[in-house]
Structures are given as structure tokens and as C-alpha cells.
Amino acid sequence: MSLEIILSMAGGLGLFLFGMKLMSDSIEKVAGAKLRQILEQLTTNRFMGILVGTIFTAIVQSSSACTVMVVSFVNSGLMNLYQAAGVIFGANIGTTITSLLVSFKLEKIAPAVLLIGVIMIMFTKKQKVIKLGETIIGFGILFMGLSTMSGAMSGMKDSPAVLEMFASLQVPIMAVLLGFVVTAIIQSSSVTVSILVLLANQGLLGLDMCLFTILGCNMGSCVSALLASLVGKKDAKRAATIHFAFNIIGTAIVFIIFSLGIDQILVVLGQAANHDAGRTVAFAHICVKVFQVIILTPFMNGIVKLTYLIIPGDDHKVGYRDSYQLKYIGEKVVLNPATAMVEVIKELDRMASLASENLNRAMNALITLDEEEIEEVDEVEKNIDFLSHAISDYLVKINQTTLPIEDMKLIGGLFHVVNDIERIGDHAENIADSARRRIETGVSFSKEAQAELGNMLDMVNTILRFSMEMFANSTEEHVEDIRNLEEAIDEKEKELQKKHLNRLTNNECTPEAGVIFSDIVSGLERIADHATNIAFSTVGVDS
């Protein structure tokens, strides 16, 4: 085999891999946020999960991208293993689309497709159109790479060494092993099966050995998810194991069937449909995956339970009060840009719950003068400060990655949300300091003042709850409620400050008590302002 053929093969493979990555990454940037929402919302039923996993992977053109995203969801507690199993099963069907497209021999139109993509990028400034153009360019580069590889392979037929090498693959187990190793290295079964389509078309590898090699490709595609789960939580490891178990068990079943000679049925069906060898390989790939899903779906729950035997035990559960720990953001987990934003929002929701809980603890301590509660306010505030710094650092980190376009728009608002929640925590700490002053100076509050503070706190708790619901769920359900509450709290602050002055004038309270009361009322009003900022931080509504 000449150096020219080797270089052509290497160049073609490089173009193919680059085109595949560019196309997959661009699709995730354009539609990643929408696809993620679909993945979150439509996977409660196992059959719907299979359908969603199939469509998602067919669009993104990568079962690895889908399964790594599922592992990330499971690691963050956003999806349980039974939901994940359905999506993983479906992803195995969706991954067959690439090799099917390759079998249609679209290499001739690749230059025209490439030109269309370049024009879209050069003559527009809209990010979505640019990313769509990049997707089309990736598609064109992919098929130009295939054309280069196909041309190189046609020259291989004249090389005795090459023919001898492929002749050595006539042992089924060797073909399976080759498929596994190559796919594990490239981390894409779509690429290796597409290469098999070309090899079959050039007559370099027999159809029967192509089918056995496909089985190895199926197992090799699990490596990406397994690597992503290595430093994750146990459920993330189990999700990756579901993918691996599906392919191991499915491959074993199909290997036995093929060993009995039944693989020839697929060859005959392909020939009967007047398909060339490459199209027959792509057709067989789809049949194998669909068959595996059909045969293993009834045992889906059993496969999930099997992963608990393989990976026993539970992780330490991070609660709302656990100090200096992130619950949803995996510090050591392989960063997945497509799910990073969901993890941040969940972590911010947890941080806000801590701040809200601490506000009520501080207000209670102000009245009861419970020193233990005052100390706990300080401890929780340190945890809130830790989360503030940790989440901000993570936002900086993900801002440097290829986030979906919709997520990129949210980054700036999320930095402000971190600051707003941290400021709510500071106001809670200020109230705890006021409680200390009451203890030290013996200042007392009248029943009327206590009732007024309790009434205003109820209003602030309500606006905080509405705001976090809007933020965490990305809804506009409470827009008018929040606006009305913000105005009402502003009026309440003015009303209470006026009543406070009247009590001072009438000598019904001491100046020391008046200063503390005034500071707390002002602080509660500012908390309501921070809550309003949070509500409108990521929703397309002007506050």
C-alpha cells in the first residue's frame, strides 16, 4: 500500500471526524436547550423515553452525546435511572441514521452543501443562522471526507498486503474485537459503521464480517459514557452501566444468532431490495439495533436492578443545610455544556432556599432572642458565601465552553442572581446582628411592632417563593403577582416607617428600638427588590 493511499485515508478520516464533530456541536448550540427540555419533560414513560432518545440522537448524530448528557442528568439528580434507561435504549437506534445517510452516497453534492453553509455564515450576523450554517458545513465536510476515503479504498484493492489483512478478519470474534477497539478509540460508532459501509462498497470486507464488526462497534460506543461517569455519583455510573449492559447483552444475543448463520437473512433481504453492499450494511445496522431494543425492553427494569448489584451502595446525600458542598454541580464530573445551565439553576434554587430559610430563622431569633439560632444564622451565611463563590467560578468556567445559544443568553443574568441571593443572605445576617444588639442592650419591641414585622415578613416570603418559582421553572406565571407584591411591600415599608415615627413621637418606644425596627423594615424592602431582580433575571419580561 503506497504512502499516497495512506495519506488519503488519513486525510479523509480527519475530514470525516471533523465534519461529524462540527455538525454535532453546531446542532447542540442551535437546538441544545430545546432538546434538553424535551429530554427532561418527555421521558417519564419508558416508551416515550425510547422515542425521545431515538429522535434526539438522530438529530445530534451521536449516541455518545446523548448518553453523556443522560449521565450528566442522572448525576445532577434531574433524571432517575428508569427514565435514563428508556432514553439510552432509544439512543442506540438513533445512532444508525449516520451510516444510513452515508450509504446513500451523497458525496457528489458535498461541495454544493459546503458552499451553502459558507454563504450562510458570511452573509448573516444572526447566531442561530451562523450555527445552522456551521451544521451544513459539517455535513459537507463529512461527505467530502467520505469521498476521499472511498477513493483511497478503491486503490487498496490492488494491494496484496491489504487484501491479506482483511482476509485475516474472517474469524467473527476478531471482527467483533476490531469493531470494539476502533470505536473505543474514535468514540463514535457512527464513524466506524460508516467506514464499514465504504469497505463493503469497495468489496474489501465481506458482508458477514461487516455485521460481526458492527456488534463490536456497539460495545465500543459505551466508552464515552463510561469515562464521563468515572468521577460521577453512583447513579451516574449506573446510567453508563445500563448503556454498557444493553450493548453487551444485546451483542451476545445477536452474536449467537449470527453464528447460527441467520446473518445471511439480512444479506438476502438487502439483495432482494436491490441494495448495494454498503446499503445492506447500513440496513443491517438498523435491524440489529431495533431487534436489540425490542428484545430487551421487557427486561429494562431488570437491567436497571442489575446495575445496583454491579455498583452497590449509596452516595452521601447533600441536604440543604450541608455546609461547603455543591449538590447539583459535579465538581469532578466531566463538564457537559448541554446540561451545565440546568445544574447551575438547580444549585441557585438550593442556595435561595438556604437564604430564605435563614431570613426566617433570623427574624424568629429577633423576637425570641434565641442565641443558638443567631449562631446558626452565621453558620448558614458562611455556607451561602461558599455557594456564591463556587457557583460564580462555575459560571466563569462554563462561559468559556461551547454552550447552546439560548444558554449563553442567560449567563449574564445568572451572575446577577448569585449576587442577589447572596445579598438576601447578608440581610438575614444583619437581622441576626440586630437580635444580638437587643440581647446586649435589653431593647424591647412592642406587640404592635412585632405584628407589623411579622406581616411584612409574610409578604416578603411570598414574593421570594413566587420569584424562585419563576426563576427555577422559567415561567411567567407570577409576573403580575410579583409586580403587585413589590409595590405593596414598598408601600408597607413607608407605612411602617411612618407608624414607627409616630410611636417615637409619642414616647411609645425607645430610640434604640426605633433604629433597629427601621433598619429591619428597610432590609425587608430591599430583600423584596432582590427577589424581583431574581424573578426577571432570565425571563424575557422587563421588570
Domain assignment present for 446: yes
User: Nearest 5 degrees, angle CA 483-CA 488-CA 489?
Assistant: 100
Question: Concatenated DSSP letters for 255-305?
Answer: HHHIIIIIHHHHHHHHHHTT--HHHHHHHHHHHHHHHHHHHHGGGHHHHHH
Domain assignment present for 8: yes
- Contact predicate 427/527, CB 8 Å: yes
Domain assignment present for 325: no
Cell output for 59: 438529530
pLDDT of residue 484: 93
For residues 143 and 271, state if they share a domain: yes
Closest to 399 (Cα-Cα) out of 386, 387, 413:
413
For residues 221 and 357, state if they share a domain: no
For residues 38 and 159, state if they share a domain: yes
Domain assignment present for 541: no
Give the count of beta carbons closer than 10 Å to the beta carbon of residue 526. Answer: 18
Q: What is the pTM of this model?
A: 0.73
pLDDT of residue 541: 37
- Contact predicate 393/326, CB 8 Å: no
Domain assignment present for 378: yes
Structural domain containing residue 346: 337-535
Q: Which residues contact 32 (CB under 8 A, 6 or more apart)?
A: 337, 338, 403, 404, 406, 407
For residues 171 and 87, state if they share a domain: yes
With H, G, I as helix, E, B as strand and everything else as coil, classify residue 202: coil
For residues 304 and 346, state if they share a domain: no
With H, G, I as helix, E, B as strand and everything else as coil, classify residue 410: coil
For residues 287 and 378, state if they share a domain: no
**Cα 338 to Cα 299: distance, rounded to the nearest angstrom:** 30
- Contact predicate 308/81, CB 8 Å: no
Domain assignment present for 210: yes
Q: Which residues contact 9 (CB under 8 A, 6 or more apart)?
A: 148, 149, 152, 153
Closest to 60 (Cα-Cα) out of 81, 31, 101:
31
Digit-by-digit pLDDT tens for the chain (543 residues) are 567 777 888 888 888 888 878 887 777 777 666 767 777 666 667 788 888 888 888 877 777 677 777 877 777 667 788 888 888 899 888 888 878 887 777 778 888 888 998 998 888 888 788 888 888 898 888 888 878 887 777 776 666 666 666 666 677 888 888 888 888 887 778 788 888 888 888 777 787 888 888 888 888 888 777 776 666 678 778 888 888 899 899 999 988 888 877 666 766 666 655 567 788 888 888 888 999 999 999 999 999 999 989 888 776 555 545 567 888 776 555 567 777 888 888 899 999 999 999 999 999 999 998 999 999 999 999 999 999 999 999 998 888 777 777 788 888 889 999 999 999 999 999 999 999 998 888 888 888 888 999 999 999 999 999 999 999 887 888 889 999 999 999 999 999 888 878 887 777 777 888 888 889 999 999 999 999 999 988 765 343
For residues 439 and 392, state if they share a domain: yes
For residues 64 and 146, state if they share a domain: yes
For residues 453 and 356, state if they share a domain: yes
For residues 134 and 215, state if they share a domain: yes
Pick left, alpha or beta for residue 275 (phi over 0 → left; psi -120 to 50 → alpha; otherwise beta).
Answer: beta
For residues 361 and 295, state if they share a domain: no
Domain assignment present for 520: yes
Query: Residue length, the chain?
Result: 543
For residues 301 and 390, state if they share a domain: no
pLDDT of residue 459: 94
Closest to 166 (Cα-Cα) out of 181, 183, 153:
153
**How many domains are contained in the chain?**
2
Domain assignment present for 272: yes
**Cα 248 to Cα 250: distance, rounded to the nearest angstrom:** 6
Closest to 339 (Cα-Cα) out of 388, 398, 421, 387:
398
pLDDT of residue 408: 83
- Contact predicate 532/543, CB 8 Å: yes
pLDDT of residue 232: 66
User: Residue 356: exposed, middle, or buried by beta-carbon count in 10 A (0-12, 13-18, 19+)?
Assistant: buried
pLDDT of residue 275: 64
CATH number reported for the structural domain that contains residue 475 in this entry: 1.20.58.220
**Cα 540 to Cα 175: distance, rounded to the nearest angstrom:** 54
Closest to 28 (Cα-Cα) out of 336, 408, 401, 338:
338
